[in-house]
């Protein structure tokens, strides 16, 4: 099995449990029972993802944060699949990423909010998730009609497919976001929303404007949400940022400060609006207390990560 080892049994039991969630819920089975099923899954099988390294390995980091939030009794992120997937992977998350934080939870929730709002206007629309990793956003925002295309590099799609296989409205595509052939798989007739969470910062800087500009060029009414890191954070990763003694964050060569947002409109004439999507309040001293204050202070806000929301419209309209 190409680069994978499955410790005891196989990922099929996690898949089975994932598939059962909606039926259990419809059947009125209590959250406690679902949780027990999830715990059983975590006890009986682990997928060893030893082929993941570099940027593909980073997909385990936001998964870890979302799963930690989702398993809290006072969770703000309903995401039982993230819990099952995290519990089904043989990986020492805390050793690599430290204690879980709200860092990726507030990003996921900010994009969920944009998507839910957009889906109310485009119920049968197409969402494309570039660099989706093990993001379970489809299931969080699914209203029964959205069509979803998840685009990631082959080694990441191999892992994703174990837990989030293709269905009639959710498809996985092994293709680099930089290889624009993924666009041929998109049907924009009911509207198109493209997400790229935790992706652009890892790309060669000259490729980011090229990729962003290709979207309004091909899909002139699309919307796009992606997150950014500021230049100081990008520089830190280029110098070798150790998140924990056992994990060095891969280089993030592309950074953007908030005062550069105006430049984005110059990347393509069809980029009609550029906005920063608000983050909700996270947990703990930093994400619950400091970050909201930093975002409120003009100079410091300039140096903070953002979720950027682009709306496209044909320039001639």
Ligand X SMILES: C[S@@+](CC[C@H](N)C(=O)[O-])C[C@H]1O[C@@H](n2cnc3c(N)ncnc32)[C@H](O)[C@@H]1O
Q: Which residues bind ligand X (CB under 6 A)?
A: 55-56, 58-59, 62-63, 130-133, 135, 151-153, 156, 176-178, 197-199, 202
By beta-carbon proximity to ligand X, the closer residue of 37 and 114 is: 114
Sequence-separated (6 or more) residues with CB below 8 Å from residue 10: 45
Choose between 133 and 282: whose C-beta lies nearer to ligand X.
133
Least distance from C-beta 38 to ligand X, angstroms? Answer: 19
Closest CB 65 distance from ligand X, rounded Å: 9
Closest-CA residue to 6 (of 48, 38, 52, 39): 48
Q: What angle do CA 143, 187, 272 make, to 5 degrees?
A: 90
Q: Toward ligand X, which CB reaches closer, 112 or 257?
A: 112
Q: Helix axis angle, 103-121 relative to 60-70, nearest 10°?
A: 80
Cβ distance to ligand X smaller for residue 106 or 291: 106
Smaller CB separation from ligand X, 38 or 86: 86
Q: Which is nearer to ligand X, 191 or 198 (CB)?
A: 198
Give the β-pairing of 223-228 and 192-196.
parallel
Cβ 130 to ligand X, closest distance in Å?
6
Separation in Å, CA 268 to CA 84, 220, 254, 261, 315: 41, 10, 19, 13, 9
H/E run at residue 147: strand 147-152
In angstroms, give the least distance from the CB of 128 to ligand X.
11
Q: In 3D, which of 209, 193, 307 has the Cα closest to residue 258?
A: 307
Q: How far is the CB of 32 from ligand X (least distance, A)?
A: 27
What is the C-alpha to C-alpha distance for residues 29 and 286, in angstroms, rounded to an integer?
A: 37
CA angle 49, 243, 48 (to 5 degrees): 10
Reported residue count of the chain is 317
CB of 182 to ligand X, least distance (A): 9
Write down the least CB distance from residue 118 to ligand X, Å: 17
Q: Quick one: 229 or 264, whose CB is closer to ligand X?
A: 229
Q: What residues contact 167, with CB distance under 8 A and at least 6 apart?
A: none
Give CA–CA dist 105/227, Å, rounded. Answer: 13
Which lies closer to ligand X via its Cβ, residue 264 or residue 307? 307
Q: How far is the CB of 316 from ligand X (least distance, A)?
A: 31
Angle between the N-to-C axes of helices 80-87 and 31-44, in degrees from 0 to 180, rounded to the nearest 10: 20
């Amino acid at each position: 099995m190409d680069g994978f080892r499955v410790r005891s049994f196989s990922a099929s039991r996690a898949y089975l449990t994932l598939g059962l969630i909606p039926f259990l819920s419809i059947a009125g089975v209590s959250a406690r029972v679902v949780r027990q099923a999830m715990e059983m899954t975590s006890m009986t099988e682990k997928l060893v993802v030893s082929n993941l390294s570099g940027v593909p390995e980073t997909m385990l980091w936001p998964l870890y944060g979302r799963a930690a939030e989702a398993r809290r009794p006072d969770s703000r992120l309903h995401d039982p699949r993230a819990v099952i997937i995290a519990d089904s992977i043989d990986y020492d998350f805390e050793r690599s990423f430290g204690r879980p934080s709200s860092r990726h939870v507030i990003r996921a929730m900010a994009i969920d909010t944009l998507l839910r709002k957009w889906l109310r206007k485009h119920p049968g629309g197409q969402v494309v998730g570039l660099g989706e990793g093990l993001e379970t956003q489809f299931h969080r925002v699914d209203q029964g009609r959205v069509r979803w295309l998840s685009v990631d590099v082959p080694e990441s799609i191999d892992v994703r497919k174990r837990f989030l296989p293709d269905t009639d409205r959710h498809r996985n595509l092994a293709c680099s976001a930089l290889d624009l052939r993924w666009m041929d798989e998109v049907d924009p007739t009911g509207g198109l929303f493209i997400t790229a969470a935790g992706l652009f910062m890892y790309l060669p800087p000259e490729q980011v404007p090229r990729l962003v500009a290709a979207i309004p060029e091909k899909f002139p009414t699309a919307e796009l949400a992606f997150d950014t890191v500021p230049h100081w954070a990008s520089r830190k990763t280029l110098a070798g940022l150790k998140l924990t003694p056992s994990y060095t964050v891969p280089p993030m060569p592309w950074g953007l400060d908030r005062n550069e947002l105006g430049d984005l409109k110059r990347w393509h004439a069809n980029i009609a609006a550029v906005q920063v999507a608000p983050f909700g309040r996270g947990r703990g001293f930093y994400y619950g207390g400091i970050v909201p204050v930093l975002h409120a202070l003009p100079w410091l806000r300039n140096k903070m990560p953002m979720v950027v929301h682009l709306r496209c419209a044909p320039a001639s309209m």
